[in-house]
Amino acid sequence: MAISEQAARGLCFATRGLTKVYGSGPAAVHALRGVDIDLPDGEMVVVLGASGSGKSTFLNILGGLDAATSGEVSFRGQDIAGATERELTEYRRRHVGFVFQFYNLMPSLTARENVALVTEIAENPLKPEDALALVGLEKRLDHFPAQMSGGEQQRVAIARAVAKQPSVLLCDEPTGALDSATGVRVLEALKTVNDDLGATTLLITHNAGIASIADRVVVFADGAVREVRENAQKKAPRDISW
């Protein structure tokens, strides 16, 4: 399918023959082995797989943080596999929000100030207060990270990522360092962002219990997509357990 057709079909991302090899010769590591996938705009997608399955490499390539060794990657019909570093920087700035397992907040700044770091460079940002309200932290605006729980800090990180109103939210193990009850609050925040802002949301996890909240589930193994399935009936985050 041509890139123009991908855009016409409302795809956020499409990859064809995507590979990633680290190193060379006998020591080469094949992180991705010919990934072909279509991901529609606006969906909540859970990406499952064991450590070393290729899911984080896949996410980093979609986010413009890493480059593929070969293959095609398009974002809304636009080629990003062949983009220059400057073009990738602009792509990340305008379109992509990142949430990682570790919160990477500035300890000397309040929640409001941590979010404001992003809004100062975005084209059409949410107010920091509005972004924090979106994840249920409107009463914690002036608290420092040390004054908040792990789940609250992760929700500040989500607010920071969504404050620039990205087209795509890429989350790498956002509940990995949290207990299940706290993790559910974080998943609820991500669902709110997906519902209210319409950001295509990819959530990487090794936790199969989270898959039921997604529109689409992608399963990685040995650098390849082993299964793609859609959930006819999604569960609310509060109804899952792990």
163-204 pLDDT tens trace: 999 999 999 999 887 888 889 989 998 999 899 999 999 999
Q: Is residue 151 part of a domain?
A: yes
pLDDT band at 123 (very low <50, low <70, confident <90, very high): confident
Angle (CA) 158-162-163 rounded to 5° is 115
pLDDT at 79: 94
Residue 70 has a pLDDT of 96
Across the range 65-94, mean pLDDT stands at: 93
Share of the chain above pLDDT 90, in %: 77
Rounding to the nearest 10 degrees, give the CA dihedral for residues 14, 240, 158, 190: 50
Identify whether 240 is part of a domain: no
| 3 state SS of 228 | strand
Phi, psi torsion values for 34, nearest 5 degrees: 75, 60
pTM of the complete model beyond 0.85:
yes
Q: What is the CATH number of the domain that holds 176?
A: 3.40.50.300
pLDDT of residue 1: 47
- pLDDT band with cut points at 50, 70 and 90 for residue 150: very high
User: Does any domain span residue 186?
Assistant: yes
Cα dihedral 177, 182, 188, 191 in deg (nearest 10):
0
| Structural domain includes residue 10 | no
Tell me: pLDDT of 219 over 50.
yes
pLDDT given for residue 103 in this prediction: 85
pLDDT at 8 over 60: no
The per-residue pLDDT for range 96-105, each reduced to its tens digit, is 999 988 888 9
Residue ranges making up the domain that contains 46: 42-66+93-234
Residue 3 falls inside a structural domain:
no
pLDDT at 5: 57
| CA distances for 224 relative to 48, 57, 179, 215, angstroms | 12, 11, 29, 20
Q: Say which amino acid occupies 60.
A: N
Question: Does residue 12 form part of some domain?
Answer: no
**pLDDT of 4 above 70:** no
Residue 79, in any domain of the structure: no
C-alpha angle 103/210/229, rounded to 5°? 125
* Domain-embedded: residue 241: no
Determine the pLDDT at residue 147: 97
How many structural domains does the chain have? 1
